[in-house]
C-alpha cells in the first residue's frame, strides 16, 4: 500500500503540470487587430443662403440655384411695390441693366391652397433673415417672387403664388427687423417653371429671392 503522503504529492504534481499546460500567457493570446471600421467620407457642406446670393455662379447647392434669371428690366416690368407700399424703382447702371440679378430659389412648403407658412418651414426662413441683416446686403431691396407648378389655371396659380411670396417676405422682414421698404413680393405662377420637362413636379413650387439694387 502506498503511503498517503506520496499519493498526495503525486496528485499535486499532476495538477500543477496540467495547469501549466493549460495556461496561456497574454503574449501568446492574440486578440488580433480590431477590424477597421468604415469611415464615412465627410459630407460636402451645402452652400448657404449668403454664399449663393453673393456668388450665384459658384453656388454649389442645387436646391438654392435659381431656376430663372431676373434682370432689372424684368423687375421694372413686374411693377411691384415694397411692403411699405412704395414702387420699386431699382438703380440702373450699364453693367447691371442686362445681366441677371443675384438670386436664390427656396422650396418653401405650404398646405394645399394655403398661403400660411408651415411651422416646419420657419427655421430656414429665420436663418435667411439673419443672413439678410449682413451689411453686405444693405444696398438691396429683397424681392420675393412666388412660383407654382402647372396644375390649375394661370390666374389661380399667379394669385396663390403672389400670396405665398407675400407671406414669406412678411415673415422674413419681421424676423430680420429690417424696414418694410427693403422687402417686396410678387407672384408669377407657372410662367417660369424650374423644370419644364416636369411641369407638375414639386421643384417648380418655390419662392425666389432676388436682390434688387436700390
**Cell match 434669371: residue?**
69
The 10s digit of each residue's pLDDT in 77-92 is 888 888 988 888 776 6
Mean pLDDT, rounded, for 140-168: 95
Burial class of residue 107, CB neighbours in 10 A (0-12, 13-18, 19+): middle
Residue 120 has pLDDT above 70, yes or no: yes
174-178 contact pairs (CB < 8 A, 24+):
175/125, 175/126, 175/129, 175/130, 176/129, 176/130, 176/132, 176/133, 177/133, 178/132, 178/133
pLDDT recorded at residue 115: 92
pLDDT recorded at residue 124: 92
Half-sphere exposure at residue 24, Cβ-oriented, CA atoms within 13 angstroms: 5
pLDDT recorded at residue 45: 39
Other CB atoms closer than 10 Å to residue 163's CB: what's the count? 17
CA separation for the pair 213, 124 (Å, rounded) = 24
pLDDT recorded at residue 211: 95
Question: Domains of the chain: which residue ranges?
Answer: 65-213
The CATH number that domain 65-213 falls under is: 3.30.1330.60
pLDDT recorded at residue 99: 84
Q: What percent of the chain has pLDDT over 90?
A: 49
Residue 95 has pLDDT above 60, yes or no: no
65: cell is: 440655384
pLDDT recorded at residue 97: 60
Q: Do residues 119 and 171 lie in contact, with contact meaning Cβ atoms separated by under 8 Å?
A: no
210: cell is: 432676388
CA separation for the pair 20, 17 (Å, rounded) = 5
The 10s digit of each residue's pLDDT in 35-70 is 444 444 333 334 688 989 988 778 888 888 888 899
Helix (H) or strand (E) holding 206: strand 206-213
pLDDT recorded at residue 134: 95
More confident residue, 39 or 168: 168
Residue 12 has pLDDT above 70, yes or no: no
Other CB atoms closer than 10 Å to residue 47's CB: what's the count? 19
Residue 112 has pLDDT above 90, yes or no: no
CA separation for the pair 24, 57 (Å, rounded) = 67
Among the listed residues 156, 150, 164, 147, the one whose alpha carbon sits nearest the alpha carbon of residue 196: 150
Amino acid at each position: 500500500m502506498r503511503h498517503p503522503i506520496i499519493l498526495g504529492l503525486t496528485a499535486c504534481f499532476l495538477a500543477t503540470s496540467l495547469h501549466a499546460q493549460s495556461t496561456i500567457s497574454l503574449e501568446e493570446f492574440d486578440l488580433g487587430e480590431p477590424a477597421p471600421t468604415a469611415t464615412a467620407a465627410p459630407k460636402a457642406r451645402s452652400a448657404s443662403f449668403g454664399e449663393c446670393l453673393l456668388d450665384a455662379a459658384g453656388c454649389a447647392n442645387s436646391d438654392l440655384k435659381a431656376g430663372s434669371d431676373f434682370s432689372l428690366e424684368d423687375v421694372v416690368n413686374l411693377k411691384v411695390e415694397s411692403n411699405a407700399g412704395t414702387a420699386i424703382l431699382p438703380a440702373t447702371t450699364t453693367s447691371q441693366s442686362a445681366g441677371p440679378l443675384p438670386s436664390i430659389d427656396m422650396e418653401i412648403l405650404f398646405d394645399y391652397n394655403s398661403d400660411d407658412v408651415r411651422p416646419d418651414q420657419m427655421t430656414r426662413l429665420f436663418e435667411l433673415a439673419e443672413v439678410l441683416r449682413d451689411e453686405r446686403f444693405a444696398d438691396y431691396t429683397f424681392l420675393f417672387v412666388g412660383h407654382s407648378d402647372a396644375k390649375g389655371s394661370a390666374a389661380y396659380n399667379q394669385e396663390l403664388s403672389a400670396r405665398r411670396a407675400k407671406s414669406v417676405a412678411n415673415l422674413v422682414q419681421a424676423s430680420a427687423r429690417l424696414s418694410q421698404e427693403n422687402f417686396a413680393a410678387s407672384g408669377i405662377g407657372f410662367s417660369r417653371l424650374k423644370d419644364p420637362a416636369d411641369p407638375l413636379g414639386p421643384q417648380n413650387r418655390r419662392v425666389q429671392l432676388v436682390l434688387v439694387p436700390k
